[in-house]
Structure 1
């Protein structure tokens, strides 16, 4: 996936779910938007490296959006949950996800079932459709390729 130009900083703190203070290499401190409302305990640490995109939109209150974080385990985590579907669509179209390759059509945000629920992608194959739901995950396990959702205790089960 090709990101917009990213700048690097050091995380000072994250607060009020949507805000993060960072410090640039030149010592400048910025408050940027954090698009991930999860706890993110497993994918960030104060003092860790972060990458963010800047916005020139004069209507925005904050100058940038947190995109990527270095995890305490030294891995990279995509913080911007809005990027997940675009990344998966790009991978699907490029045939990178072998288990889902060979479809003849791809549709986004398709309603299905009696309740009209929406699914992220419907892939058409000769023998029928496949439905794909995408989730951003921020809970990784050390020394494992496995990740989980949600990243905090939930009452929902």
Structure 2
């Protein structure tokens, strides 16, 4: 996935009101950018981190700039725009880079499904086998050299796990795909210390046959690409 416009660099001052981040440029001027991330962003948006932002051509936007990447004190690059996880996953599927999910004829996104009014991130279809429902989650929380998901309590994430379990019970393939969007993370673990219910549901989902995969990524200032599969540690 290539960024739609060249990224510019600044320094992060603070994040606030959930979707807003203040930056300061090399000239000392401060300005506000939009941040498409509903999570807590622990360790991803600390004051003083380097920040990399894109600029929209849409002149009607209140905030023309969007925060895309940050760089922590260990020089790890972190994609903080959670919208990109789905884009990277879809591109990888189309380029046949996820061996577990090959050779489906039809790729659809944001399809309504389930009993809890959900939309599946990716739906794969093929006339010769069961439909494959894929939920994609962006992993950016690094703590003590371990990657975790989620970084805050997620009722929405809990709902998605319940929906995947139901899809599996109905005879479909159900997949949870963790996209690691942090270059310092080499394995993923459910964050039971943050959302105990999500961790319990993840264990249940695996027991019920939901497939759980994690792939890390190569992140640069030009693009983000899938790299290779990494372990998901359930305990």
Using structure 2 for the length normalisation, give the TM-score. Answer: 0.59
1:137 pairs with one of 136, 139, 143: 139
Q: Which runs of 5+ in 1 are unaligned?
A: none
Unaligned runs of 5+ in 2: 154-193, 199-235
C-alpha distance in structure 2 between counterparts of 1:28 and 1:65, whole Å: 17
Count of residue pairs the alignment pairs up: 156
- From the two aligned structures, give the one with the greater helix fraction: 2
Task: Return the offset for 1:150.
Answer: 3.5
Distance 2:123 2:196 in 1: 30
Shift in Å at residue 130 of structure 1?
1.2
Secondary structure at the residue paired with 2:138?
coil
Kept after mapping to 2: 8 A contact 1:139/1:151: no
In the TM superposition, what is the alpha-carbon distance from 1:119 to its structure 2 partner?
0.9
Note if contact 2:10-2:23 (Cα within 8 Å) is conserved in structure 1: yes
Flag the 1:141–1:129 CA change in 2: closer, same or farther, 3 A.
Answer: farther
Q: Identify if the C-alpha distance between structure 1 residues 147 and 154 changes in structure 2 by more than 3 Å, giving closer, same or farther.
A: closer
Equivalent residue for 2:50? 49
> How much does 1:89 deviate?
0.8
What's the offset of the Cα at 1:2? 0.4
Note the aligned Cα RMSD (angstroms).
Answer: 2.3
Q: Which residue does the alignment assign to 2:149?
A: 148
CA shift, 1:116, in A, is 5.7
Cα displacement (A) at 1:76: 1.5
For the Cα contact (< 8 Å) 2:150–2:195, is it kept in 1? no
Change (3 A) 1:111 1:25: same
2:2 maps to what in 1? Answer: 2
Secondary structure at 1:91's aligned position in 2? helix
TM-score of the superposed pair, with normalisation by structure 1: 0.84
For residues 117-136 of structure 1, the aligned pairs below 5 Å read 117-125=118-126, 126-136=128-138
Structure 2 vs 1, CA of residues 5 and 103 (structure 1 numbering), >3 Å: closer, same or farther? same
